[in-house]
């Protein structure tokens, strides 16, 4: 098998680059080399609006001295280009203690892709046919569907990471994503529906059945919302549909469990390991090893194998998520959560697939045992203050629960609350676990993540509706 290090950067060049990076007193140095190819296609109102592809390759080099990190990146992958970037990164290192430290890398650890049908091998005409078929299926749901946009994107990300501690590893990540958005028009105006399909897999992810189901789901969501009534305002029991509420826990709790926020004392969870922070029904996990999910990683961007990390177990806070720098400072091992958007960025602590373990209850029974409340079928975007845990999330698909039954659809409204409080208010968890893909933004970097949970009930959450 030909690896990227064989075709772009040799082992000898990596060793020389690391030696140069350490030559001015560096305590740690790392070279991250990346080759990324992307393609996308967008069908909007039955017209191809975008059909593009791109390629980007380069290297990021960092040098650490105490609390100071020097970083440089370059698109020049020649030995001279890498050495120049290493010198620039090392410029922040302390003066003195010169000389060149020899770096010896072991054998390359390579992680192959799990994709069986590389998107790059799929003819563009076939991709366009898939978009048109999805458009047809969505419009066939009824004449009220007036607008449809379908998008398809894929990426091939191949990287090698080597550092002064002897890490030398390579990974090849193939990701495929499909999105469909629909607008339905009626007497009450326009309403929207949306469905994604995404995974760390090849084109085999997009079976005809999966695409048709997504198209029908997006169209039906928009059509159903034409009959939506204003949402109530106040505190209500809330039932989160399986998969749909994972983003709430990702934002409201997950970011507060990342070690950079913890060490800055910018999280409500600082210093609470071993304490009860949630209902005993809550076990929260960050797991990059879930093969095929959108946040799957065989290897994080610092060369650490991905791991399954239990953060909260039966309501008790057990650990945080760690990257290399934060774990090094605390004298422990990285949890495999060092991630970066590309070679042009420094890695930082990031989530992968973050989810709550399923319970033993029946989803229908949870609804039946809720006399009055709100059923959230899909959450939208939100804002969270990690220091306090306060959040606001949009609900893009929600329904009233009346006498233990899901009844009228509700217009888009907000879910308002506090992360730590929400964790304590989980009083029922079903056994219908599912996951959803998402894109997480942090400090200007975007990375793919997965979120998930089973249907669950929160005893009381504030609904920011408009009905009196």
Domain boundaries, the chain: 4-227, 234-464
Which letter does DSSP use for residue 8 in this model? Answer: T
SS3 414: strand
| pLDDT tens readout for residues 45-80 | 999 999 999 999 999 999 998 888 889 999 999 999
| pLDDT tens readout for residues 292-338 | 999 999 999 999 999 999 999 999 999 999 999 999 989 999 999 99
Instruction: Give yes or no for a contact between 17 and 82, defined as CB atoms under 8 angstroms apart.
Output: yes
Instruction: For residues 295 and 312, give the distance between their C-alpha atoms in angstroms, rounded to a whole number.
Output: 19
Q: What angle do CA 253, 254, 259 make, to 5 degrees?
A: 115
Q: For 4-227, which CATH class?
A: alpha beta
Count of beta carbons in the 10 Å neighbourhood of residue 293: 25
Q: What is the CA radius of gyration of the chain?
A: 24
| pLDDT tens readout for residues 207-261 | 999 999 999 999 999 999 999 999 999 999 999 999 988 899 998 899 999 999 9
382-398 as b/e, with b when 16 or more CB fall inside 10 Å? bebbbeebbbbbbbbbb
The overall average pLDDT reported for the chain is 92
Of 238, 178, 191, nearest to 377 (Cα)? 238
Q: Which residues pair with 227 in a beta bridge?
A: none
Instruction: For residues 296 and 157, give the distance between their C-alpha atoms in angstroms, rounded to a whole number.
Output: 13
State the pLDDT at residue 7: 58
Instruction: For residues 436 and 450, give the distance between their C-alpha atoms in angstroms, rounded to a whole number.
Output: 6
- At 60, give phi and psi (nearest 5°): -115, 135
- 13: enclosing H helix or E strand: helix 11-22
SS3 7: helix
| pLDDT tens readout for residues 353-385 | 999 999 999 999 999 999 999 999 999 878 888
- 221: enclosing H helix or E strand: helix 208-224
- 366: enclosing H helix or E strand: helix 363-368
pLDDT higher than threshold 80 for residue 99: no
Half-sphere exposure of residue 138: CA atoms within 13 angstroms, side-chain side:
35
Instruction: Give yes or no for a contact between 48 and 128, defined as CB atoms under 8 angstroms apart.
Output: yes
- 317: enclosing H helix or E strand: strand 316-317
Please name the residues in contact with 258: beta carbons below 8 A apart, sequence gap of 6 or more: 267, 320, 321, 337, 349, 350, 351
SS3 131: helix
Of 223, 251, 229, nearest to 379 (Cα)? 251
Of 382, 371, 387, nearest to 464 (Cα)? 382
| pLDDT tens readout for residues 253-293 | 999 999 999 999 999 999 999 999 999 999 999 999 999 99
Please name the residues in contact with 61: beta carbons below 8 A apart, sequence gap of 6 or more: 17, 21, 29, 30, 31, 32, 71, 72, 73, 74, 82, 85, 86, 88, 89
pLDDT higher than threshold 50 for residue 2: no
State the pLDDT at residue 252: 85
Of 341, 339, 344, nearest to 301 (Cα)? 339
Instruction: For residues 257 and 309, give the distance between their C-alpha atoms in angstroms, rounded to a whole number.
Output: 11
Please name the residues in contact with 302: beta carbons below 8 A apart, sequence gap of 6 or more: 30, 161, 163, 167, 323, 324, 334, 338, 347
State the pLDDT at residue 93: 62
> What separation in angstroms does the CA of 11 have from each of 5, 18, 105, 342?
7, 11, 8, 21
| pLDDT tens readout for residues 103-153 | 667 788 888 788 889 998 999 999 999 999 999 999 999 999 999 999 999
Token readout for 57 is 């390759």
**Which residue is it, tokens 């398809």?**
152
State the pLDDT at residue 467: 60
CA 44 to chain CA mean position, Å:
26
CA 37 to chain CA mean position, Å:
19
Of 184, 173, 182, 213, nearest to 197 (Cα)? 213
Instruction: For residues 335 and 316, give the distance between their C-alpha atoms in angstroms, rounded to a whole number.
Output: 19
């Amino acid at each position: 098998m030909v690896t990227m290090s064989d075709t772009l950067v040799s082992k000898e060049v990596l060793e020389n680059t690391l030696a140069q990076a350490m030559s001015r007193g560096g305590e740690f140095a790392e070279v991250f080399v990346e080759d990324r190819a992307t393609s996308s296609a967008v069908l909007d109102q039955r017209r191809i609006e975008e059909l593009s592809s791109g390629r980007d390759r380069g290297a990021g080099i960092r040098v650490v001295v105490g609390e100071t990190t020097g970083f440089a990146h370059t698109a020049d992958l020649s030995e001279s280009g890498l050495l120049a970037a290493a010198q620039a990164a090392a410029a922040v290192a302390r003066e003195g203690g010169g000389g060149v430290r020899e770096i010896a890398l072991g054998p390359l650890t390579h992680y192959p892709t799990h994709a069986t049908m590389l998107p790059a091998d799929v003819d563009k005409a076939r991709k366009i046919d898939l978009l048109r078929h999805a458009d047809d299926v969505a419009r066939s749901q009824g004449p009220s569907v007036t607008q449809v946009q379908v998008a398809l994107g894929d990426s091939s990300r191949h990287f090698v990471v080597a550092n002064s501690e002897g890490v030398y590893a390579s990974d090849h990540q193939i990701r495929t994503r499909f999105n469909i958005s629909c607008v339905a028009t009626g007497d009450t105006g326009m309403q929207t529906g949306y469905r994604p399909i995404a995974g760390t897999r090849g084109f085999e992810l997009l079976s005809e059945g999966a695409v048709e189901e997504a198209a029908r789901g997006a169209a039906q969501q928009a059509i159903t919302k034409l009959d939506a009534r204003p949402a109530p305002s106040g505190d209500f029991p809330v039932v989160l549909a399986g998969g749909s509420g994972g983003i709430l826990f990702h934002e409201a709790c997950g970011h507060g469990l990342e070690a950079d926020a913890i060490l800055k004392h910018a999280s409500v969870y600082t210093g609470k390991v071993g304490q009860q922070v949630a209902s005993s029904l809550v076990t929260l996990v960050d797991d990059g090893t879930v093969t095929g999910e959108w946040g799957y990683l065989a290897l994080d961007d610092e060369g650490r194998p991905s791991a399954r990390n239990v953060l909260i177990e039966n309501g008790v806070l057990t650990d945080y998520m760690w990257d290399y720098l934060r774990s090094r400072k605390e004298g422990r091992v990285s949890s495999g959560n060092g991630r970066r958007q590309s070679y042009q960025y420094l890695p930082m602590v990031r989530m992968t697939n973050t989810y709550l373990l399923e319970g033993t209850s029946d989803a229908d029974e949870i609804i039946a045992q809720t006399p009055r409340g709100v059923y959230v079928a899909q959450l939208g975007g939100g804002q969270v203050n990690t220091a306090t845990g306060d959040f606001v999330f949009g609900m893009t698909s929600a329904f009233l629960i009346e006498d233990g039954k899901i009844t009228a659809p509700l217009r888009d409204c907000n879910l308002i609350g506090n992360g730590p409080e929400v964790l304590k208010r989980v009083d029922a968890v079903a056994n219908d676990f599912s996951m959803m893909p998402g894109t997480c933004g942090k400090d200007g970097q975007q990375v793919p993540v997965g979120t998930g949970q089973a249907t669950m009930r929160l005893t009381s959450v504030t609904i920011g509706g408009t009905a009196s």
